[in-house]
Amino acid sequence: MLTLYLIRHGKADPESPTGRDEDRPLLPRGERQALRLGAALSAMEFPPSLLVVSPTLRARQTAARLLDSMAVPLVFDEGLRVDRPASSLLDVLDEHLGERAVALIGHNPQLQIAAATLTGGPGAPPPAVRTGQALVLSVNPERSLVGGAKLVDSLRFDD
């Protein structure tokens, strides 16, 4: 079984210094969310052994705060960019099915649609995935990814 963490970046500034969405930084609240989430993930029975991260600034900053609590490899993947379809997240996941526990850090609506597809199949209603939230899924790599996962937990810290 694979433990999959679908993580939405922490709360980000609605504006960016460049005017580009991909350059929006985390707000202090988002930094705190990510720090607390990192501590919680590192205490899980199967903490992430790999972080796969969208290359946007807010996702990179979220990953950096998670790494304050764990020492795991980090890779950036274009398939997790904010403008990519949910199917690209499933392709990213497919590349890492050999891991024991992997965290994908990205954006909505991709995360919501992918979570619905993984747990309920095509057309399933998407669960809410708020900023700074991690959905914890149990995935059997020997079964179909579509509809074959189980949502086992949801973690979010807000202050």
- What is the model's pLDDT at position 94? 92
Could you tell me which CATH class the domain 2-156 is placed in?
alpha beta
CA distance 76 to 34: 17
- What is the model's pLDDT at position 142? 85
Q: How many angstroms separate the first and last alpha carbons of the chain?
A: 33
Task: State yes or no: pLDDT of 159 exceeds 70.
Answer: no
- What is the model's pLDDT at position 141? 84
Task: State yes or no: pLDDT of 158 exceeds 90.
Answer: no
The residue extents of the domains of the chain are 2-156
- What is the model's pLDDT at position 100? 94
Joined together, the tokens standing for residue 116 give: 């619905």
pLDDT in tens, 87-142: 999 999 999 999 999 999 999 999 999 999 999 977 788 888 999 999 999 999 88
- What is the model's pLDDT at position 25? 98
Contacts of 66 (CB under 8 A, 6+ apart): 7, 34, 37, 38, 41, 48, 51, 103, 105
pLDDT in tens, 33-57: 999 999 999 999 999 999 999 999 9
Task: State yes or no: pLDDT of 62 exceeds 70.
Answer: yes
Task: State yes or no: pLDDT of 67 exceeds 90.
Answer: yes
Angle of helix 110-120 relative to helix 86-95, nearest 10 degrees, comes to 70
- At 59, the pLDDT band (50, 70, 90 cuts) reads very high
- What is the model's pLDDT at position 144? 81
Can you tell me the mean pLDDT for 70-74?
A: 95
Look up the pTM and report it. 0.95
